[in-house]
Amino acid sequence: MQSNFIQKTKFFLKDKNIFWPIIAGIIFWAVAFGIAYVQIFPLEKNLILHFNFNRQVDAIGSAADVFWIIFGMTIIFLMDQLFALALYFKEKIISYLVSYLGAFFMLLGLFVIYYLSLAN
């Protein structure tokens, strides 16, 4: 049973339409974490987390809130890839879509972290 799962996972990861979104998601996560680690985590003041439409501050928080954003990005990405693995042997096209959407969510998370670093 376990070797069958490992074989299926290896086959899943050898598919270029799955492998490259995973690599892209990992790179996006690493860049987002790097930006947060270098520019946001050292700040000790309250951070601006959100602006409203009038460019007024809606939410302030600490660097720990940014950590939770990165943690949430990671969980969503892992869930997307596990869901893609579950769908891979039944519906490859949907599996590809889910895998690429996971990488897209990581890209959106990278943008969030980058703009938070610009705002502070």
Domain ranges of the chain: 16-119
Q: Say what the pTM is.
A: 0.83
pLDDT at res. 50: 66
CA 98, 100, 104: angle at the middle one, nearest 5?
A: 110
Residue 25: is its pLDDT beyond 60? yes
pLDDT above 80: residue 75: yes
Q: What is the pLDDT of residues 85-119, one digit of tens each?
A: 999 999 999 999 999 999 999 999 999 899 888 87
- Which structure tokens are listed for 65? 């809130």
Residue 9 clears pLDDT 80, i.e. is over it: yes
Q: Which residue has the higher pLDDT, 116 or 83?
A: 83
Residue among 56, 57, 58, 31 at smallest CA distance from 114: 31
